[in-house]
Amino acid sequence: MGLIFIRTVIVFIATLIVMRLMGKRQIGEMQPYELVITLIIADLACIPMADNSIPLLYGLIAILTVYFLHQIICVLDLNFPAAKTVVSGSPSIVLNKNGIDDTQLKKNNLDVSDLIESLRVEGYFSLDAVDYALYEAEGTFSALPKPNYQDLQKSLPIIIFDEGKADEKNIRRTERPLKYFTDILKEHGCKDIKKVLVMTVDGNGKIYMQIKGQKYRVVDKKWEKTLW
């Protein structure tokens, strides 16, 4: 049983490390260690239950070990903030008043389209509609909108450039050539589209763009007709 204890501790820690390394994308509404417990405990309970050749005590000791580790993590969580950060992680502010923080996104294995998707789920369709957006340690997403955010999202923005890559399908929807957008980038001092973190455009011609390492910019081209 001592071996099962040690083996369970090793599997628990290894799974927890992997979950932490995978970032917030894999978690979703659970602390990393809670997800690890959920993943492990189901198997621990099932294997000795279903396999008659394994003593039930093997499963019970492993479950008791998981409980023991859970209690230790609870004590660490409450008393040692540094340990809490190591075990559970910390919130990641992925969008601030300067725009998208791609370092934080990459740290959590997320990309700009994931952020846009999370914003849409929260009801914010335009990147400039929010001042702050963050992923909590357990993977949930929250955003602080600008006071006048309703006025900033009159039409659905679509992605033109996503981390240096042009979205041909969306460019066709704008009824404008790629050059139209690269010229806008050039006007703002960006000659290489690979340096573009994101560029979106809404149906009225409002362009949101952010060049890597720079603050975001909003350019309103005021198209003659609303395209979508």
* Residue whose pair of structure tokens reads 């395209």 in the numeric block: 227
Q: Which is nearer to other proteins, 71 or 150 (CB)?
A: 71
- Using CA atoms, how far apart are residues 173 and 160, in angstroms rounded to an integer? 10
- Using CA atoms, how far apart are residues 44 and 23, in angstroms rounded to an integer? 25
- Using CA atoms, how far apart are residues 189 and 26, in angstroms rounded to an integer? 37
Q: Which is nearer to other proteins, 70 or 195 (CB)?
A: 70
Q: Rounded to 5 degrees, what angle do the CA atoms 73, 93, 137 make?
A: 20
State the minimum distance, in angstroms, from the CB of residue 15 to other proteins. 16
Query: Using CB under 8 A, which of 5, 132, 180, 223 touches other proteins?
Result: 5
Q: Which of residues 92-131 bind other proteins (CB under 8 A)?
A: none
Q: Which is nearer to other proteins, 72 or 218 (CB)?
A: 72
State the minimum distance, in angstroms, from the CB of residue 157 to other proteins. 48
**Environment class of residue 129 by beta-carbon count within 10 Å: exposed (0-12), middle (13-18) or buried (19+)?**
buried
User: Does residue 120 contact residue 131 with C-beta atoms inside 8 Å?
Assistant: no
Q: Which of residues 45-64 bind other proteins (CB under 8 A)?
A: 52-55, 57, 61, 64
- Using CA atoms, how far apart are residues 7 and 112, in angstroms rounded to an integer? 39
Does 68 sit near other proteins (CB under 8 A)? Answer: yes
Q: Which is nearer to other proteins, 53 or 148 (CB)?
A: 53
Cα→Cα distances 194→108, 167, 190, 223, Å = 21, 13, 9, 26
Query: Using CB under 8 A, which of 21, 78, 144, 156 touches other proteins?
Result: 78
Q: Which stretch binds other proteins (CB under 8 A): 65-73, 93-101, 125-133, 220-228?
A: 65-73
Contact letters for other proteins, residues 156-175 (x by CB under 8 A): --------------------
b/e 61-91 (16+ beta carbons within 10 angstroms → b): bbbbbbeebeeebeebeeeeeeebeebbbee
Cα→Cα distances 183→36, 128, 178, 205, Å = 49, 22, 9, 14
Contact letters for other proteins, residues 29-48 (x by CB under 8 A): --------------------
Q: Which is nearer to other proteins, 79 or 148 (CB)?
A: 79
User: Does residue 225 contact residue 187 with C-beta atoms inside 8 Å?
Assistant: no
State the minimum distance, in angstroms, from the CB of residue 63 to other proteins. 10
Does 7 sit near other proteins (CB under 8 A)? Answer: yes
Q: Which residues bind other proteins (CB under 8 A)?
A: 1-3, 5-7, 10, 52-55, 57, 61, 64-65, 67-68, 71-72, 74-75, 78
